[in-house]
Chain A
Amino acid sequence: MLLHLLNRSPASSQVPQDALRAMGAHDRLLLIESAVYGAVAPQADLYAALEGRCFALREDLVSRGLVEHCAPWIAMVDMAEFVDLTAQTQRTVSWY
């Protein structure tokens, strides 16, 4: 099981779609930096099928004014939980 780390939003880039195509059935996805714009409707629909394995970095949602708008199928994590995600998964692949 891998962790995919993404910092682009679907509205601005093709990279999120590339990352999704590269993900295995149990892999996890963490949205950071500008990728958290994709945690909000309607962009967040792209990740609806990943419920339970899609995460967004809370501090990046907070700084962008999005923390109240994060889609319910995307779990907010703090920095410590980000580290835990990298520890629990075999490897991290960054998409940018």
Chain B
Amino acid sequence: MSEETAPAMLVILRHAPHDSSWLREGLDVALVAAAFGQRVTLLFLGDGVEALRPGQSAGALGQKGTHPTLDMLAMYDIEDIRVDRDSLERRGLTPDALGWTAAPVDVESLPALIAGSAAVFNF
């Protein structure tokens, strides 16, 4: 299989920034996988879509948040970024309103995205 057609590793991010370390730790897995030469697809789902909301900042105590990491994804060759359309709608968000470019995934194509990946990390 060529590099283009080989299935990517899918990292699903389902937790909001700041609340917990899940989002950061999930992103860390994605960055390390990419650094190890894996093709990586990121999927923001559930509360994870809050990570894409514009206007985030560091925490009051100086907690870094995850928005600086999202700015670095291209440097790690993580270009395939998807977002669950249903999760956006539940939160009053649209793809155009996000702070980062993410391709919306409809409910019809969600199972195939997960089944077709080389591995799935669900954070």
Contacts and interface: CB of A to CB of B under 8 A. Distances in A.
B109 to A, nearest CB: 11
Interface range for A: 10 to 19
A95 B46 CA distance: 11
Contact of A15 (B46, B107, B114): B46
Given A18-B14, A22-B111, A94-B122, 19 more contacts: A14-B46, A15-B14, A18-B45, A21-B86, A21-B110, A22-B110, A22-B114, A24-B111, A24-B112, A24-B114, A24-B115, A25-B111, A27-B111, A27-B115, A90-B115, A91-B119, A91-B120, A95-B122, A96-B122
Contacts of B46: 14-15, 18
Contacts of B112: 24
Interface of B: 14, 45-46, 86-87, 107, 110-112, 114-115, 119-120, 122
A93 B86 contact: no
Interface of A is mostly: mixed
